[in-house]
């Protein structure tokens, strides 16, 4: 069966990309299938990233000040001419076959609106936290359903007419946030098909430190995602929202409560032991993955971070839930209060 040629435009937003961005551009040049167009949107960068991109042959769009990747990607897509827009982050590098696989998938499935890929299992930064976080991201995508319910801006491709028809990314997200998840929800609501292809991979070069990780995961991810879930009433057991993760959140908070209660009722510490064993058991596949990839010592260090992830993720969801219902209560009660005042 003869397939029609498909043109691919790569759109990369960048703000002070540094060496990682240079590696990103080099990986595109070394791709087995060259992009038909490479557009870099300089989001007010001050380190000369735009010049690096221009020197490497990219079409560069310079913005006067940072407005976030959502706005930058929208501007880049409107300027693009390709049938498919492939979004990749400035701190990720392509595998040689990444673009070839993207082209192949869209040719094979004319009904496919968008696809997302995965980080690979060899993160660029060598410190423990970066290895753990990026490997965990890889594991999450590799074990998730191929029928996706969200989009992903770090390694995601979409048909340009469909992207424009649904309105692109929501530019109210002015930080690297959940603008891609929100776009995915709108795509699904409009009846479009999104697929996760696990063999389409990029390498993440980001170096995570405790503060930067917690800020990104709580402030830019968990809290706005909670607000989006509650506003859209979408609770798909997909990616980070799997049933195992939900049970683990309950387990971690139960563990904390049993440990605290144990100071007053010592036998409850046995309950803590039981809960801990349960957490290890239901997350056995995760820890086996880390053991295979990095060995026992690395896996032992993963466990407390993994449980901490359930703690702050669950805490952020609880906070967002309280905020949502409190806001609903205030919206309902305000007219009543105003009416009471008018009657006086």
Give the domain CATH number at 184. 3.90.550.10
- The answer on 312 and 192 residing in a single domain is no
How far is 242 from 250, CA to CA, in rounded Å?
13
Split into its structural domains, the chain has a count of 2
Kind of pairing between the strands at 59-63 and 112-119: unpaired
- The answer on 64 and 155 residing in a single domain is yes
pLDDT per position as a tens digit, 143-184: 999 999 899 999 999 999 999 999 999 999 999 889 999 999
- The answer on 315 and 196 residing in a single domain is no
pLDDT at 316 over 70: yes
Q: Look at residue 238 in the predicted model and tell me its pLDDT.
A: 56
Pick the closest to residue 95 from 153, 41, 42, 23 (CA basis): 23
Sheet holding 37-43, edge to edge: 59-63, 37-43, 8-14, 84-88, 155-159, 112-119, 193-204, 92-94
In angstroms, what CA-CA distances link 167 with 47, 90, 195, 213, 239? 31, 23, 20, 30, 24
Q: Note whether residue 235 is domain-resident.
A: no
- Global pTM? 0.89
Among 118-127, 170-179, 271-280, 330-339, the range scoring the smallest mean pLDDT is 330-339
- The answer on 262 and 146 residing in a single domain is no
């Amino acid at each position: 069966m003869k397939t029609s040629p498909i043109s691919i435009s790569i759109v990369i937003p960048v703000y002070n990309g540094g060496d990682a961005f240079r590696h990103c551009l080099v990986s595109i040049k070394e791709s087995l299938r060259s992009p038909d167009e490479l557009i870099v949107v300089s989001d007010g960068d001050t380190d000369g990233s735009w010049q690096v991109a221009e020197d490497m042959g990219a079409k560069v769009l310079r913005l006067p000040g940072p407005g976030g990747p959502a706005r930058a990607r929208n501007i880049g897509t409107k300027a693009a001419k390709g049938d498919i827009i492939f979004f990749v982050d400035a701190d990720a590098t392509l595998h040689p076959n990444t673009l070839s696989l993207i082209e192949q998938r869209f040719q094979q499935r004319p009904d496919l609106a968008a696809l997302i890929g995965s980080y690979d299992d060899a993160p660029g930064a060598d410190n423990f936290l970066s290895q753990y976080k990026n490997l965990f991201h890889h594991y999450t995508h590799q074990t998730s359903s191929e029928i996706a319910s969200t989009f992903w801006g770090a390694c995601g491709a979409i048909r340009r007419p469909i992207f424009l028809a649904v309105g692109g990314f929501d530019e109210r997200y002015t930080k690297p946030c959940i603008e891609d998840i929100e776009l995915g929800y709108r795509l699904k609501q409009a009846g479009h098909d999104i697929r996760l292809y696990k063999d389409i991979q990029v390498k993440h070069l980001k170096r995570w430190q405790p503060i930067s990780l917690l800020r990104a995961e709580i402030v830019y991810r968990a809290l706005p995602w909670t607000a989006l879930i509650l506003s859209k009433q979408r609770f798909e057991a997909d990616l980070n929202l799997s049933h195992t993760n939900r049970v683990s959140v309950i387990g971690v908070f139960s563990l904390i409560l049993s440990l605290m209660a144990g100071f007053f009722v010592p036998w409850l510490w046995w309950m803590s032991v039981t809960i801990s064993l349960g957490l290890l058991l239901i997350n056995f596949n995760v820890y086996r993955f880390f053991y295979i990839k990095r060995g026992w010592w690395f896996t032992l260090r993963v466990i407390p971070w993994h449980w901490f992830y359930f703690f702050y993720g669950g805490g952020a969801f609880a906070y967002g839930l309280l905020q949502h219902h409190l806001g609903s209560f205030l919206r309902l009660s305000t007219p009543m209060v105003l009416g009471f005042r008018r009657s006086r």
